[in-house]
Structure 1
Amino acid sequence: MKNFSLPLLILASVLVLHGCASVSVISDYDQDIDFNSYKTYAFYKTGIDRARISDLDKKRILRAIETEMSAKGFTKSDEPDLLVSIFTNERVEVDIYNGGWGYGWGWPGYYGFYGPYAGPGFWGPGFYGNSVSTRTEGALYIDLIDKNKKALTWQGKGVGDLYTGKKIEKKEERIREIVAKIMTQYPPETDSED
């Protein structure tokens, strides 16, 4: 029984780690800006209209940004300090895992008089074939533009695997996760000299 538990534990660990897809985040900003002076924002419709995603996903992203901006103390305004714009990009990644020789759990592969052999499994050498998987990787850029100066003051970028299944709740959850991770970079932490 101990031999059977170890492969299941390893398989479960791999599935859990694969399910927790990470998001890589970077940001850039204008060092001459006092980010504490910004208190209000509005969405920059022209920029958002250019984003190459469905209107439904745009709404999901904008709702997630509203949540994060509100949590940072911003209020939405018709006379904003900042304009928020987004840009998206996606690509399909193909992962190929080459098989090889190794040890693992298996069942003897012969058929007896009463059907497939139903005896105990075994540990031993074997050849494991190639496997191919695809995933969609997306990049979301969030731009914060000083309305009066008409200049980009901050940009955050998040890159991660997108949820491409049928469950809308999981898609919304992934979008919220990506936006929240990007917005952890705002306001930027300025380097202070000692």
Structure 2
Amino acid sequence: MKLFALFAPILLVALSGCSSTDVVTDYNPRADFSRYERYTIADSSGADKVVSPFIVDNVKESLQRQLKAGLYKQADTPTNADFLVRYYIAEAAETVDRSPRLGLGFGSFGGNFGVGTSVGVPLGKDKINRNIQIIIDLLNPADKKLTWRGSLVIELDDRDPKVNANTIERAVTEIWSQFPPA
């Protein structure tokens, strides 16, 4: 039991390092979000040129589902909108997924003292993960000034577009769940 008490804090710190990226939000505290009912998608929405148009379409469709689920209505004209919605998809830093490694450990344990060493032997090639950042902005339609922003970095799957669509849906849902600010 003493051994568990010794290693529990170390395990918690290690697991907290494995948590996913959180949504980052910012907003204008003077904005009155309770008046937001009708929206229009800003013409300046889009993505970096390297981002697939399919990814852009998935983000737009997912965002429109979230707006509809939040009981927001699309304005018939931009002048009738209470807020503009702008989305942008940017390529984020790629990460390297190290291949599994085989560890050989040697050590001793005597009394209350332990020593250990390990040697890692790579078992395959490193994998480069493609990441994108989804940014959702809400703008004041009169002056086009930013009132709220939410963003999240996600990892894309290079092999399965269906997995990407699901990942994007979850990401946009997670971003939109932070609106309105508390």
Same fold (TM over 0.5): yes
Give the match's secondary structure for 2:137.
Answer: strand
Name which of 27, 30, 33 aligns with 1:32.
Answer: 30
1:82 to 2:93 alignment = no
Give the match's secondary structure for 1:69.
Answer: helix
1:93 to 2:74 alignment = no
How far off is 1:136 after superposition?
Answer: 1.3
Q: Distance in 1 between matches of 2:52 and 2:120?
A: 40
Aligned to 2:180: 187
Contact 2:28–2:148 (Cα < 8 Å) also in 1? yes
Aligned to 2:39: 41
Aligned to 1:6: none
- CA deviation profile, 1:31-59 (whole Å, cap 9, x unmatched): 001100010111112x2245432322221
Aligned to 1:123: none
Contact 2:139–2:148 (Cα < 8 Å) also in 1? yes
**Count of paired positions:** 148
Contact 2:94–2:130 (Cα < 8 Å) also in 1? yes
Aligned to 2:139: 145
Q: 1:133 to 1:28 in 2, by over 3 A?
A: same
Query: Which of 129-138 and 172-181 deviates more?
Result: 129-138
Give unpaired runs (5+ residues) of structure 2: 1-18, 107-117
Q: Distance in 2 between matches of 1:51 and 1:74?
A: 28
Q: TM-score, normalised by structure 2?
A: 0.71
Give the match's secondary structure for 1:24.
Answer: coil
Give the match's secondary structure for 1:93.
Answer: strand
Give the match's secondary structure for 1:129.
Answer: strand
Aligned to 2:3: none
Letter in 2 for 1:129: V
Give unpaired runs (5+ residues) of structure 1: 1-20, 104-125, 190-194
Q: Distance in 2 between matches of 1:26 and 1:93?
A: 19
Contact 1:94–1:134 (Cα < 8 Å) also in 2? yes
Aligned to 2:171: 178
Q: Distance in 2 between matches of 1:50 and 1:176?
A: 17
Q: Distance in 2 between matches of 1:100 and 1:149?
A: 59
Contact 1:23–1:181 (Cα < 8 Å) also in 2? no
How far off is 1:133 after superposition?
Answer: 2.7
Aligned to 2:162: 169
Letter in 2 for 1:57: I
Q: Quote the RMSD (CA, aligned, Å).
A: 2.7
Q: Distance in 2 between matches of 1:56 and 1:38?
A: 29
Letter in 2 for 1:62: K
Q: TM-score, normalised by structure 1?
A: 0.67
Name which of 121, 124, 130 aligns with 1:129.
Answer: 121
How far off is 1:127 after superposition?
Answer: 5.6
Give the match's secondary structure for 2:166.
Answer: helix
Aligned to 1:68: 66
Contact 1:24–1:160 (Cα < 8 Å) also in 2? no
